[in-house]
Amino acid sequence: MAAVLRAVLLAVLLGAAVLRCAAAALIPPAEVEVEVLQKPFLCRRRSKWGDLLLVHYEGFLQSDGAMFHST
């Protein structure tokens, strides 16, 4: 379940980044790291369209590693 949540978050963040950059006609290379902290041994139910997902993320600056945003 956590992997699915992270995949959804990644898709949302990358989509937002592409839209921002498209306005400036610049598309940066995708440099996103995904870390799976917990993965269930057996997942009987997968998320589907219309499900409400709770997602946590932390954003860090590449220059000095300082956290700039967290949910």
The answer to whether 58 and 34 have CB atoms below 8 angstroms apart is no
Q: What percent of the chain has a predicted confidence (pLDDT) above 70?
A: 68
Give the start-to-end residue ranges of the domains of the chain: 1-44
Pick from 32-36, 42-46, 63-67: least confident: 32-36
Please enumerate in sequence order all residues whose Cβ is within 8 A of that of 14, keeping only pairs 6 or more positions apart, or say none: 30, 32
Q: Is the pLDDT of residue 19 over 70?
A: no
> Where does the pLDDT of residue 49 fall: very low under 50, low under 70, confident under 90, or very high at 90 and above?
very high
Please say if the pLDDT value at position 4 is more than 80: no
